[in-house]
Amino acid sequence: MKISIYGKQMTVRDSLKVLVEKKLHKFDKFFGEETEAFVTCKVRKGVKIIEITINYGGATFRSEEESETFITALDRVIEGLERQIRKNKTRLEKTVKRDAFTVADEGDDDEYEEETEFRIRTKSFPFKPMNVEEAILQMNLLGHTFFVFTDADDGQVAVVYKRKDGDYGLITQEK
């Protein structure tokens, strides 16, 4: 696994980098060597935050946790990633490394209830071309945390969303 560790407006200590790499190598049994893991460490208002994103075979696993220490946040974020993998084990077996879910791992599954089917609610509505500011306004008026719209500038479908830190995010199609 290729691991990239970044500090957002901070410098990550070598001891934390070593610990992050050690904990992430736990996932080597699930992913191949071409897997990329991006780790971002940041401090916001005295709270330590670690975000880990793992990209493998078209699937993205992401978890973010905050705590009073980086070590606690790291433990929680690793647990969150493992929970995601175990919860979606059956669907992931086609994607992750062969034999990742061996008989020896089966005992760990008791604490994770696997989702066997998704409950999907379908909603249809007309897409009116609008700019990002209009989409954010519409999202706020509806009281939603995200809003799908057609970007008036390029005609592509995009998504605006409200982030945990109170800022907004924009998801667009890669060109």
pLDDT in tens, 104-159: 444 454 554 555 567 788 877 777 899 999 899 888 877 789 999 999 989 899 99
* Residue 139: its H or E element: helix 132-142
**Domain 129-171 -> CATH class:** alpha beta
Domain 2-111 has CATH 3.30.160.100: yes
Taking the C-alpha atoms of residue 77 and residue 71, their distance in angstroms, rounded to an integer, is 10
Confidence of residue 174 (pLDDT cuts 50, 70, 90): confident
Buried b (16+ CB within 10 A) or exposed e, 129-146: ebebeebbeebeeeeeee
| Residue boundaries of the structural domains of the chain | 2-111, 129-171
Q: What pTM does this model have? A: 0.61
pLDDT in tens, 41-85: 999 888 999 999 988 776 788 899 999 999 999 999 999 998 887
Taking the C-alpha atoms of residue 173 and residue 175, their distance in angstroms, rounded to an integer, is 6
